[in-house]
Chains A and B, each alone.
Chain A
Amino acid sequence: MASKLKVATCSLAGCFGCHMSLLDIDERLLDLLEVVEFDRSPINDIKLIEGMVDLGLVEGGLCNAENVHVLKHFREHCRIIVSVGECAITGGIPSMRNHHALKECLEEAYIRGVGVENAHIPNDPEIPLLLNKVYPLHEVVKVDYFLPGCPPSADAFWHFLTELIAGRDPSLPLQLLRYD
């Protein structure tokens, strides 16, 4: 039997909806696990990719310094990177803050927010620094494929993954192509 393809996944500035949708392929997960094994992923809680993996599925855009580090780590360790979902592809809902200065956003949440006590902008060194703007992935690293949707449906995931694993063009057919 051929060795299994290694797949890593992560969620950056996203909502984990894309990961939930991947899990929504339900019993087809068993078929998928016949041909792939998961490396670093929130599914197994592995934090770093050792060596190279074949496929990196990246959900969410880039809103802080840690997102950028994780994405660059993925780019260095994945043969193929896929932008998964609206936020990874366009910045999505988190990028709505791009129309305001970062300072304004922080003050709105932590200084002027309703019911805020001990008002101050969090500055614990453990908290990743926010980027001035939210960016889609392809503006920072080369992205090989895009899987749109908010989230991409389970069928879209299934089509994309099975076609890609079979070595074919994984473009979505019209009935699976959605941005919402």
Chain B
Amino acid sequence: MCPDSIKTFFLDGREIPFREGQSVFDAAMTAGAFIPHLCHNPDYEPHSSCRLCTVIVNGRPFASCTQPAVAGQMVQSDTPELREMRRVLTQMLFVEGNHYCPSCEKSGNCKLQATAYDLGLQDNHFPQFFPKRELDASHAEIILDRDRCILCGLCVRVSRDVDKKSVFAMTGRGIHTVIVVDSPSGLLKDSKVTAQDEAVQHCPVGALLLKGKGFDVPIGERIYDKAPIAEDSVAKFQAREAHIHG
């Protein structure tokens, strides 16, 4: 049991301490409990769009990245039902895009792929959509491959909030939603984006890549070749917490 002065909630029966204002997701990851996620990067404001981090709080589903931790709440995450929901969400992401892992520069560093491994996906179940999406290779240093985009919106948020450029936005609805670029021609080369922009560095998949860097680290020596995403992201999260909060 934690001391009374420390507030706690219960995650899958385990007591998890939290700081005031922390989300369920942040508290769980700090305590070493991995919750699968794609659109959330702890360095930026949560967005709760991918819904992969959905947990059941006191009987109701919430995205854990935006759900504030409250003392005494009962949270379920690692249940067969939630695991199956995450599997189906991930399968739908795979069939709605064009994800060719064998020929993708991001393979081994890709959060979508690593999350699918974590969830044990061996097939996509649904019919492939094979959508036709535009590739933007116009920029000298950056490529935007919409085939691989999962519409997590991280580049949109980071370009707006951190880089202060709002280079990226989403347009269209439902299955027709696409990332667009703010420039007169609609092409990256005519936008304000640079290879140093944070928005370009954090794409969880291979949609935004720096040219000429794709194979700097060989296949087999990449992030998720070394450790599964559950282990890697908890370790990085805890290191980040220790750095910020001591």
Please name all residues of chain A whose beta carbon is closer than 8 Å to the beta carbon of B132 when the two chains form the complex: 99
Known contacts A150-B102, A177-B122, A179-B107; decide if A98 and B127 are in contact (CB<8 Å): no
Query: Which residues of chain A in 78-133 are interfacial with respect to chain B, using CB atoms and an 8 Å cutoff?
Result: 83, 86, 89-93, 95-96, 98-99, 133
Binary A-proximity of B74-117 (CB < 8 A = 1, otherwise 0): 00000000000000000000100011111110011000010011
User: Is A56's beta carbon under 8 Å from chain B?
Assistant: no
- Nearest CB in chain A to that of B127: its residue: A139
With A and B bound together, what is the CA distance between A150 and B94 in angstroms?
A: 16
User: Is B44's beta carbon under 8 Å from chain A?
Assistant: no
Closest 6 CB pairs of A and B: A179-B101, A150-B102, A146-B123, A98-B130, A180-B107, A146-B122
Evaluate contact between A174 and B117: CB separation under 8 angstroms.
yes
A sample of 23 inter-chain contacts (CB < 8 A) reads: A90-B99, A90-B124, A91-B130, A96-B98, A98-B130, A99-B130, A133-B130, A138-B125, A139-B127, A146-B122, A146-B123, A148-B123, A150-B101, A171-B120, A171-B122, A172-B122, A177-B122, A179-B101, A179-B116, A180-B101, A180-B102, A180-B113, A180-B219
- Nearest CB in chain B to that of A170: its residue: B122
Evaluate contact between A92 and B102: CB separation under 8 angstroms.
yes
Query: Which residues of chain A in 156-180 are interfacial with respect to chain B, using CB atoms and an 8 Å cutoff?
Result: 171-172, 174, 177-180
Q: How many positions in chain A have a CB within 8 Å of any CB in the partner chain?
A: 29
The distance from the CB of B217 to the nearest CB of chain A, in whole angstroms, is: 14
Known contacts A89-B123, A148-B123, A174-B118; decide if A179 and B113 are in contact (CB<8 Å): yes
User: Is A147's beta carbon under 8 Å from chain B?
Assistant: yes
- Nearest CB in chain A to that of B95: its residue: A90
Please name all residues of chain A whose beta carbon is closer than 8 Å to the beta carbon of B122 when the two chains form the complex: 89, 145-148, 171-172, 177
User: Is B228's beta carbon under 8 Å from chain A?
Assistant: yes
Q: Which of B94, B103, B113 contacts A93 (CB 8 A)?
A: B103
Evaluate contact between A180 and B108: CB separation under 8 angstroms.
yes
The distance from the CB of B173 to the nearest CB of chain A, in whole angstroms, is: 22
User: Is B128's beta carbon under 8 Å from chain A?
Assistant: yes
